[in-house]
């Protein structure tokens, strides 16, 4: 049985949505859940869900990392071997082989740093990257990095491309995924120095490299994986989420203010609007993988509700069962060496 560690103190309104989502996931997906956090807070929420004989247990972690933890204080809490915060305790369970993956809706920077310090990096990776799946007109596109590494070198983008390709193939079932380099123009030669210097590396990587892509190509489903630095990726992510919310809100407002006939029409198109809202809802994926650390780590939104937590556990389960970590370890260095040889 797949064993998933959940940081029960992760979400903004922890531990309620975290625990409820975990119970839902245990029932629906047949996974073992290890809830890590303040046992006194977790127990009553868990009991209220009537978990029965579901394979759910609690590992006590008296401390937690929050948005206020920064700088040297955060680094100390993330790194110290005796740290008792929920992220450190949970990730250590993965490191010791007592669990297969770690999921949190907590502070992204804290999770990134804790995972990096406690699990280390896969050989050949300089900077682990966050890689969510963006909805597209043809399905989805894995985009990395979306915030973990604001400053990147060309070699980092090559590593992102290799990791994204392996993840898209193993976890998302895309054979020979196409790779795009996010730029301000489709033509080769467009872009900043980073894009221009990364282009020959990707062309010689042996990957299915499509070339430069603009944001519209990503959303249009032209490529399966898009690579960029964390600054650009984060701006793209947050802008896309804001635009999606704006469109849905504007449609709702127009229907409500349009009079009886428009409201009647709104009722008729409500199922279709529901499908669109579901497509644009980040909770459908639940969490993004942190690719490049020596373990499976997934990071979700702080505002995650129980559905988002449940879906995050599903994504983690699929990654475990696909063998993506082993595939990344075995082929990443080989592909990097091949790119250097070329």
Instruction: Tell me, yes or no, whether 167 and 88 share the same domain.
Output: no
Number of domains in the chain: 2
Contact (Cβ atoms closer than 8 angstroms) between residue 133 and residue 142: yes
Following DSSP, what letter does each residue of 121-133 receive, concatenated? B-TT-SS-EE-PE
φ and ψ of 12, to 5 deg:
-60, -30
The reported pLDDT for the residue numbered 283 is 60
Determine the Cα–Cα distance for residues 103 and 6; give it in Å rounded to an integer.
5
Of the candidates 271, 300, 274, 306, the one whose C-alpha atom is nearest the C-alpha of residue 285 is 300
The reported pLDDT for the residue numbered 77 is 75
Contact (Cβ atoms closer than 8 angstroms) between residue 230 and residue 146: yes
CB within 8 Å of 278: residues ≥ 6 apart: 284
**What is the domain-level CATH number for residue 290?**
3.40.718.10
Determine the Cα–Cα distance for residues 201 and 219; give it in Å rounded to an integer.
24
φ and ψ of 39, to 5 deg:
-60, -35
The reported pLDDT for the residue numbered 272 is 61
How many residues comprise the chain? Answer: 342
Our measurement of the distance from residue 80's CA atom to the centroid of its chain's CA atoms, rounded to an integer in Å, reads 25
Please report whether residue 332 resides in a domain: no
> Side-chain half-sphere of 272: how many Cα atoms within 13 Å?
6
Instruction: Tell me, yes or no, whether 232 and 304 share the same domain.
Output: no
Please report whether residue 36 resides in a domain: yes
The reported pLDDT for the residue numbered 274 is 64
**Rg of the chain in Å (alpha carbons):** 21
Domain interval for residue 28: 3-129+285-322
Please report whether residue 334 resides in a domain: no
The reported pLDDT for the residue numbered 261 is 65
Instruction: Tell me, yes or no, whether 225 and 315 share the same domain.
Output: no
| Tens-level pLDDT at each residue, the chain (342 residues) | 999 999 999 999 999 999 999 999 999 999 999 999 999 999 999 999 999 999 999 999 999 887 777 787 788 778 888 899 999 999 999 999 999 999 999 999 999 999 999 999 999 999 999 999 988 888 889 999 998 899 999 999 999 999 999 999 999 999 999 999 999 988 888 889 999 999 999 998 989 999 999 999 999 999 999 999 999 999 988 888 888 778 778 877 877 777 776 666 666 666 766 665 565 565 677 899 999 999 999 999 888 999 999 999 999 999 999 999 999 988 887 777 766 655
Instruction: Tell me, yes or no, whether 248 and 294 share the same domain.
Output: no
Q: Could you tell me the end-to-end alpha-carbon distance of the chain, in angstroms, rounded to an integer?
A: 42
The reported pLDDT for the residue numbered 328 is 92
Determine the Cα–Cα distance for residues 84 and 100; give it in Å rounded to an integer.
20
Please report whether residue 107 resides in a domain: yes
Please report whether residue 330 resides in a domain: no
Please report whether residue 103 resides in a domain: yes
The reported pLDDT for the residue numbered 292 is 96
The reported pLDDT for the residue numbered 269 is 64
Instruction: Tell me, yes or no, whether 272 and 299 share the same domain.
Output: no
Instruction: Tell me, yes or no, whether 108 and 204 share the same domain.
Output: no
Instruction: Tell me, yes or no, whether 229 and 185 share the same domain.
Output: yes
Of the candidates 56, 7, 95, 101, the one whose C-alpha atom is nearest the C-alpha of residue 314 is 101
Of the candidates 35, 142, 137, the one whose C-alpha atom is nearest the C-alpha of residue 90 is 35
């Amino acid at each position: 049985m797949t064993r998933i560690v959940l940081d029960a103190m992760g979400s903004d309104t922890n531990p309620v949505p975290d625990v409820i989502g975990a119970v839902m996931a245990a029932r629906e997906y047949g996974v073992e859940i290890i809830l890590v956090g303040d046992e006194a807070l977790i127990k009553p929420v868990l009991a209220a869900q009537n978990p029965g004989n579901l394979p759910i247990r609690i590992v006590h972690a008296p401390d937690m990392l929050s948005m206020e933890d920064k700088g040297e204080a955060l680094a100390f809490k993330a790194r110290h071997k005796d740290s008792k915060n929920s992220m450190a305790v949970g990730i250590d369970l993965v490191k010791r082989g007592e669990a297969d993956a770690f999921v949190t809706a907590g502070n992204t920077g804290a999770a990134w740093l804790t995972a990096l310090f406690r699990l280390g990096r896969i050989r050949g990776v300089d900077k682990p990257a966050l890689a969510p799946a963006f909805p597209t007109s043809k399905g989805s596109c894995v985009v990395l990095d979306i915030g973990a590494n604001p400053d990147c070198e060309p070699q980092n983008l090559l590593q992102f491309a290799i990791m994204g390709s392996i993840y898209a193939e193993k976890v998302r079932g895309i054979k020979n995924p196409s790779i795009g380099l996010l730029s301000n123009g489709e033509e080769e030669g467009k872009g900043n120095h980073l894009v221009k210097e990364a282009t020959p590396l990707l062309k010689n990587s042996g990957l299915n490299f499509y070339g430069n892509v603009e944001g519209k190509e990503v959303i249009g489903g032209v490529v399966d994986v898009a690579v960029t630095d964390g600054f650009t990726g984060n701006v793209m992510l947050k802008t896309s989420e804001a635009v999606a919310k704006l469109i849905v809100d504007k449609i709702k407002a127009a229907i409500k203010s349009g009079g009886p006939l428009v409201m009647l029409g709104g009722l008729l198109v409500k199922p279709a609007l529901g499908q669109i809202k579901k497509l644009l809802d980040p909770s459908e994926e639940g969490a993004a993988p942190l690719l490049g650390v020596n373990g499976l780590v997934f990071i979700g939104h702080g505002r995650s509700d129980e559905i988002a937590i449940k879906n995050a556990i599903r994504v983690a389960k699929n990654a475990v069962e696909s063998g993506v970590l082993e595939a990344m370890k075995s082929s990443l260095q080989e592909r990097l060496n091949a790119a250097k040889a070329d």
